[in-house]
Structure 1
Amino acid sequence: MQVPELPETGAFRLGRAPAAETAHERVYRHISYMLMAGFFQPGETISLRQLSSALHVSEMPVRNALNRLIAESAIELLPNRQTRIPTLDRGQFDELTRVRLMLETDIAADAYRRATRGDIDELEAINAKLVEAIGRGETQKSIDCNQRFHLSFYAIAGRPLTFSLITNVWLRAGAFMHAVLRSDLITWRASYHDALIRALRLKNLDACVQAIRDDIIETHKEIVGLPAGVIFPAEA
């Protein structure tokens, strides 16, 4: 198993731990990042031994991290004690989308008010990498840049409680969303990111919040508009 490096800037700066961070906390953050960035597939079982080996740590911090993620409903514990990445049905996906709309449009307003020119430049640089990755068909890099763009923007708001709620939603939906994006069933664009950056530079709060809203809603529309049985189980 190959695992990505844990980024220490951008999307994770709000939750960045001090130098004395424990192995348990770092492993938890690393696995959380992997979930949000779509490195696991829906329904995939997680091998404690393989994950420990890939992260170059003992099984204890990995087991503790998995137990914590089970408590947060980010992964599932099966009757045979194996852990598995959850799948989502249509109702769960709709609910997570509604929660995203409430949390992310709310925090966007505060991020808008606190954003500096340097913050906006950083978001623009991340988005440029996203557009480049999409153009080259580099799906995993696109996924990573998209996550960094959104969470880096929300981190500007300086609201750690709301930020943690948002990341929990991304934990639950990450594998599902990125499995869809990898499938080429929908067309992935970054146009709403452009609209967000433009709104920040023009100091237009309403347009800023609307860009986040449109990004979430349009992605939801594309996914639920796919033929029955392609993503969600066909209704009886």
Structure 2
Amino acid sequence: MILSASDNAHEASERLAHTNLSTKVYEFMRSALANGELLPGQKLSARTLIDRLGVSQTPVREAMLQLVAERALTMHRNKSVTVPVLSADDYIELRDIRVALEGLACRCAAENVKNADLVALGKLHRQMMVAKRGGDYRSTMRLNREFHLGIYALSGRAELVALIESLWVRTGPYLNLIYRDTVPLPKTHEHDGLLAALKARDPELAAQAVAQDIIRGGEPVVNALRADAQAQAESA
């Protein structure tokens, strides 16, 4: 059968619409993972996503499969899909890769940052601290991600930022472990040192500041994962 030009245009339009839907679901799920809205081991319901996003099963399935391929989700033998469960060693490995890549991004950002950027970043940090003091940890995690990615975008290195974002997607669900136990807020925050380094246009100081933020900020996660592993071993 020979298709007319209008038929070809219609098919192309349908393919584009389908691609856009798959991308919409994919980006929604990536953001949910990176912002800590999903928990380690949580089973994902395709029906819930279909109802929430108003799409068919196909784009949801395609988005899930793409995230499985990226190791951001796990598919089991019964075809169920869950958020991966990392060991402390797994998490530390990803954390160390983050330190290297985000340090590079901060070095580049320190060379490109403008005063207007510093104002915008300072505002994001203050909003994050207000949310944290108020116990709104979902907003805290979202604003923290916006703060960091806002800095990395200043690096001007799109491929580097894409790699960093993929690591945040994989480690984001574990941000919830930071707030599992209530701890007093410190007088200073690692973001203060990072902002100071950017203001000074000091690449090495910026890299050191973000490394400190990642490592210190992740200590509760590592401690919680080790405690959970020990508890499981003792109950076995």
What CA distance in whole angstroms lies between the structure 2 residues aligned with 1:232 and 1:54? 38
Structure 2 unaligned spans of 5+: 1-18
Q: Is the 8 A contact 1:45 1:84 kept in 2?
A: yes
Q: Is the 8 A contact 1:104 1:212 kept in 2?
A: yes
Aligned to 2:180: 183
RMSD over equivalenced CA pairs, Å: 2.1
Q: Is the 8 A contact 2:44 2:81 kept in 1?
A: yes
Compared CA separation, residues 155 and 231, structure 1 to 2 (3 A): farther
Aligned to 2:103: 105
* 1:166-189 deviation line (CA, Å, top 9, x unaligned): 11111111112x220231266666
Q: Tell me the TM-score normalized by structure 1.
A: 0.84
Structure 1 unaligned spans of 5+: 1-20
Instruction: Kindly state the Cα deviation for residue 137 of structure 1 after the two structures are TM-superposed.
Output: 1.0
Letter in 1 for 2:176: A
Please give the secondary structure, in 2, of the residue aligned with 1:67. helix
Aligned to 2:47: 49
Instruction: Kindly state the Cα deviation for residue 146 of structure 1 after the two structures are TM-superposed.
Output: 0.6
* 1:47-85 deviation line (CA, Å, top 9, x unaligned): 111111111222211111111000000000011101000
Q: Is the 8 A contact 1:186 1:223 kept in 2?
A: no
Larger radius of gyration: 2
* 1:94-140 deviation line (CA, Å, top 9, x unaligned): 10111111111011111111111121111111001001111111111
What CA distance in whole angstroms lies between the structure 2 residues aligned with 1:86 and 1:208? 31
Q: Tell me the TM-score normalized by structure 2.
A: 0.84
Counting matched residue pairs gives: 215
Compared CA separation, residues 233 and 90, structure 1 to 2 (3 A): farther
Aligned to 1:174: 172
Letter in 1 for 2:125: N
Please give the secondary structure, in 1, of the residue aligned with 2:227. coil
Answer 1 or 2: which has greater helix percent: 2
Aligned to 2:11: none
What CA distance in whole angstroms lies between the structure 1 residues aligned with 2:163 and 2:101? 8
Identity of aligned residues (%): 27
